[in-house]
Amino acid sequence: MPNLVNLLFLGSSLLLLASNEAIALPLASYGGKNATLPMLPYSYDALEPAISARIMELHYSKHHAALVTGLNNALAAYSIAAQSGDLAKQIEIQSLIKFNGGGHINHSLYWRNLQPVSLGGGTMKAGYLAAAVQAQYGGLDNLKTQMNAAGSTFQGSGWLWLACDKTSKKLLIVTTSNQDPLVGSLTPIIAIDMWEHSWYLQHYNVRANYLVNIWNVINYDEAEARYRSM
């Protein structure tokens, strides 16, 4: 079966995900075998009231699980097409691999990106990331305001990121459409899922409330570790 990191495409360019440790991590156990749903590091109700147990259950056990199934089906179909030399079919399947594979990568990061308040979620400690946020944005509150503004004006479904450019070492607020992951020189530091399934059952059409509440359960320890790995 083909290697997933060599199959994810952005337009006509390969996404070289293996060069980015933070992105490649959910794929580390892939090794040509079926992708699997990662273990959720907390219970469904652990993030309440910021994120409801019902949303967490559906998001993880239905939406993410469907992406894993879709990815495995697409990889199997791609393998058959590659063995038969059906280039047109291989090209057709790439969009499915991009969508489901990107979604699997993004969600695997997203779960680790969240933490119950009782375990320190929502609290940024002094460290390298806090210093960088202070230097570039004037503090965490200003960063939240700018990211929430970017999320509120984002059209459609996708992801909101605090990323770090490996070349410039600068923090950047970035959005990606659909299930596209961050690639190239950008490393994800904080990920916020902007798909409606992340918030609609709890906040209905008021996405801004979701953006305000999710900061209460951001895992800044994980974000610090990602930033320090740069």
What φ, ψ does residue 126 adopt, rounded to 5°? -60, 135
Note whether 188 and 174 are within 8 A (CB): no
Length, in residues, of the chain:
230
For the record, the structure tokens of 40 come out as 């959720």
Confirm or deny that 107 is annotated as ligand binding.
Answer: yes
Q: How far apart are the first and last CA of the chain?
A: 31
Q: Is 59 annotated as a binding residue?
A: yes
Strand order in the sheet with 158-165: 171-177, 158-165, 186-193
197 is in an annotated binding site: yes
63 is in an annotated binding site: no
Burial readout 36-46 (b: 16 or more C-beta within 10 A, e: otherwise)? ebbebebebeb
Strand pairing partners for 175?
160
Point out the annotated binding site. Answer: 59, 107, 193, 197
Point out the annotated binding site for Mn(2+). Answer: 59, 107, 193, 197
